Amino acid sequence: MPDESKEKIGKVAPLGEKSKPVKAKKTADPLNASIDAATQEMIARAQELGIETVFDRAENMKPCNIGTQGTCCKNCAMGPCRLPLPKSVSEDEDTRKGLCGATPNTIAARNFLRMIAAGAAAHSDHGRGVAEIFLSAARKETEAYKIKDFHKLLSVAPYLNVATTVDVDGKQLDRDIDEIALEVAEKALKEWGKSEGELLYLKRAPQPLYEKWKKAGVLPRNIDREIVEIMHRTHIGVDQDYINLIKQGTRAAIADGWGGSMLATDLQDVLFGTPSPLESEANLGVMKEDHVNIVIHGHEPVLSEMIVAVTQTKEMEDYAKSKGARGIQLSGICCTANEILQRHGVPLCGTFLQQELAIITGACDAMVVDIQCIFQNVANVAKCFHTKLITTHPIAKMEQDNVIHIEFDEHHALEDAKKIVKMAADNFQNRGSEVMIPPHKHTQIAGFGVEAIEYHLGGAFRGSYYTLNDNIINGRIRGIAGVVGCNNARTRHNEGHLAVVKELIKKDVIVLTTGCNGIACAMEGLLTPESAPVYCGPGLAEICETVGIPPVLHLGSCVDNSRILLAATEVVKAGGLGNDISDLPAAGSAPEWMSEKAISIGHYFVSSGVYTVFGVTLPTSGAPVFQKYIFEELENLYGGMWDLEVDPIKHAQKMIAHIDKKRKALGIDKARKRIMVDMSTRRELASS
């Protein structure tokens, strides 16, 4: 284990240099850092080996207070101008301004918009990459990718104005499927940069929502333009009105949720298959000591799909055996993991905060990364072990010299995947004696989507969300929550996620999850039907038991938050719960968010009519007027609004209060009261 790769704790300056002792570095308390046993054990293991992790770094570097408040402006070289919120100052007395005169509202709004721009760009550029591969597949330029789900292709085509039938002598006949695929690919790609019109998918939203966007003047024109315009407007001396600024943030966020992300999800489903429920496992304990372990990390399924295909071949299985392993164990971190979980049942190795820990097991023969949420420090950790760290995407390389770059290309995708799998198998023999895989994992049922929810809760014959709506109306299900997002090292790993979700299901709110929240719930066993009688209120438990679903439905990766928008739209369409998403007894949450993508997601939830609560912090607290605008005034435009609540129980209770408010407005609060009986009353009723 090369010593230079370790960040020594309590290091002392070398002799000859100023002999001022370096302050001893603090280490994280594993029990305070995470509520997950596997994570706690691996943090302790890292410290035993003298390897620093994100949990230790969080102890040694405090976040900047002014940045946290959203009031540091570094958009020109006269700054950074720092405008911390004074301890006590009324709105009228607040005279803070930057050198150019920018107010805290302008600065916080600009920063917020730039986060939306980065988040929308990340999701949408991912989507564009998928669309390009899709075009390649439609043109039959690649052997590796082929259309897998024709049914989904035909369902998506009309939204892109692609005809699925053709008129032959007055008769409507099915159109050639290859022709449809090609036109879908071309039309989809145009959504990023077309010069006129508006995004085609906006029409998928409920009509009243579309009309709200139109009235507010926020219909996105194309995906790229809305992101670029944010960068223009937030340059020094351009838009200096927080209300006008956030309007552009709304355009870009809608372009993400109902554009780039939704296209990514749809095209991935057509190419790789629409998910349907399947069984798998989650947590670091899915790694196997006697197998070649390949951990896939990032967000794009285009390469990982190939790695899954290659590892399943007998050739690779035999190759791994020839190297002394019993087979190949694939597992994933972050949203690439969610993608291959949803479609293939590949187990989840861990959440965002567990990426370094997967290598510290000493059993990770290769970590293959693509884009987004990858710590640069995984390269330093990999140096301490035999692990091959492989970057695969041209836009995401690392400077450390131990990182191997194998650029992935759809034209030789299978060869690339094979090269990577072989490299991992060859590396199995280089393992040291320091293997320690924590024995913790949990079974999960994942693979839900709009279609699977329809099937399980609507009934195959009805083909609608009728049963779900019916049970919301009669009060067995109190409402729907979308709980999503990251881990954040500034808060105890997974504590917020699980406390919020458990409180919601305890109060009969069904949870739709994605991203790292989905992984956290899987690790806790909440993605199993068996968890329903343990954690749910009586109404939700009864539904889960009757239809055999978990109370928390895993819908996939973060681009798959678009599935939540579409599921909500289906609920509106099924009837009885109002005319718009904002009428539904529903709420959104990101208890442990940290990424710019989360801000974009939060804002498209809000702009789609969803009351959305974030945990940890929000970079708006230093600009109370702007914060009030997004917490209160946006509701008048779109029906949804932001909120912040750090305490997870209060966080969930705020969501439930909003759900109850909506139930009351719909006149279905009485129905719920009728069935609200506790277990002892139920037993009495049953025995009488």
Residue 335 near ligand BF8 by CB under 6 A: yes
CB closer to ligand BF8 out of 497 and 672: 497
Min dist. Cβ of residue 299 to ligand BF8 (A): 6
Distance of closest approach, residue 76 Cβ to ligand BF8, in angstroms: 29
Q: Whole-number minimum distance, CB 172 to ligand BF8, in Å? A: 42
Rounded least distance, CB 323 to ligand BF8, Å: 31
| Phi, then psi, of 294 in degrees rounded to 5 | -115, 120
352 binds ligand BF8 per the rule CB under 6 A: yes
* Angle (nearest 5°) at CA 509 between 505 and 511: 75
x/- site string to ligand BF8, residues 368 to 387, per CB under 6 A?
A: -----x--------------
Nearer to ligand BF8, 267 or 558 (CB): 558
- Binding to ligand BF8 by CB under 6 A, coded x per residue (else -) over 514-533, reads -xx-----------------
Reduce the DSSP state of residue 375 to 3 states and report it. Answer: coil
Residue 280 forms beta bridges with which residues?
444
Question: What string of DSSP letters covers 415-465?
Answer: HHHHHHHHHHHHHGGG--S--------EEEEE---HHHHIIIII-TTT-SS
- Which residues does 63 contact at the CB level (< 8 Å), separation at least 6? 490
Considering only residues 386, 388, 597, 658, which one is a binding residue for ligand BF8 as defined by CB under 6 A? Answer: 597
The Cα–Cα gap between 175 and 166 comes to 5
Nearer to ligand BF8, 456 or 493 (CB): 493
Cβ atoms of 485 and 27 within 8 Å: the answer is no
Work out the end-to-end distance of the chain between its first and last CA atoms, rounded to an integer number of angstroms: 70
286-305 binders of ligand BF8 (CB under 6 A): 299
User: Of 86-94, 230-238, 571-579, 592-600, which part binds ligand BF8 (CB under 6 A)?
Assistant: 592-600
What is the torsional sign of CA 458, 461, 463, 464?
Answer: negative
Question: To the nearest whole angstrom, how small is the minimum distance from the Cβ of residue 570 to ligand BF8?
Answer: 23
Residue 72 CB, nearest approach to ligand BF8 (Å): 22
For ligand BF8, how many residues bind (rule: CB under 6 A)?
14
- State yes or no: residue 446 binds ligand BF8 (CB under 6 A): no
Q: Which is nearer to ligand BF8, 28 or 54 (CB)?
A: 54
| Torsion-angle region of 170 (φ positive above 0: left; ψ -120 to 50: alpha; else: beta) | left
Q: If we measure between CA atoms, which residue out of 359, 425, 352 comes closest to residue 387? A: 359
- Contacts of 401 by beta carbon, 8 Å cutoff, 6+ apart: none
Q: To the nearest whole angstrom, how small is the minimum distance from the Cβ of residue 554 to ligand BF8?
A: 13
One-letter amino acid identity for 239? D
Between 557 and 620, name the residue whose CB sits nearer to ligand BF8: 557
Region of residue 8 (phi > 0: left; psi between -120 and 50: alpha; otherwise: beta): beta
Q: How far apart are CA 163 and CA 311, in angstroms?
A: 38
**In terms of CB distance, is 138 or 378 closer to ligand BF8?**
378
Please, what is the minimum distance in Å from the beta carbon of residue 303 to ligand BF8?
16
Tokens of 644: 């912040």
Count Cα atoms within 13 angstroms, Cβ side, for 646. Answer: 7
Q: Pairing relation of β-strands 509-513 and 552-554? A: parallel
**Shortest Cβ 120–ligand BF8 spacing (Å):** 13
* Contacting range for ligand BF8; rule: CB under 6 A; set: 202-210, 442-450, 593-601, 632-640: 593-601
595 scored as a contact of ligand BF8 (CB under 6 A): yes
> What gap in Å lies between CA 409 and CA 79, rounded to an integer?
42
116: closest CA among 17, 22, 217, 257? 257
Nearer to ligand BF8 by Cβ, of 334 and 616: the residue is 334
Beta strands 81-82 and 72-73: pairing type? antiparallel
**What is the smallest separation between the CB atom of 265 and ligand BF8, expressed in angstroms?**
13
Triad 542, 543, 549: Cα angle to 5°: 115
Span of 244-252, 267-275, 438-446, 595-603 interacting with ligand BF8 by CB under 6 A: 595-603
Kindly report the CA angle at 514 between 40 and 600, in degrees rounded to 5?
105
Q: Is 334 in the site for ligand BF8 (CB under 6 A)?
A: yes
Q: How far is the CB of 592 from ligand BF8 (least distance, A)?
A: 9
Interacting positions 238-267 with ligand BF8 (CB under 6 A): none
What is the per-residue binding string for ligand BF8 in 477-496, x denoting contact by CB under 6 A? --------xx----------
For ligand BF8, the closer CB: 390 or 516:
516
Q: How far apart are CA 192 and CA 267, in angstroms?
A: 14
Find the length of the chain: 688
Name the segment binding ligand BF8 (CB under 6 A); options: 192-200, 406-414, 569-577, 594-602: 594-602
Q: Which residues bind ligand BF8 (CB under 6 A)?
A: 299, 334-335, 352, 373, 485-486, 515-516, 557-558, 595, 597-598
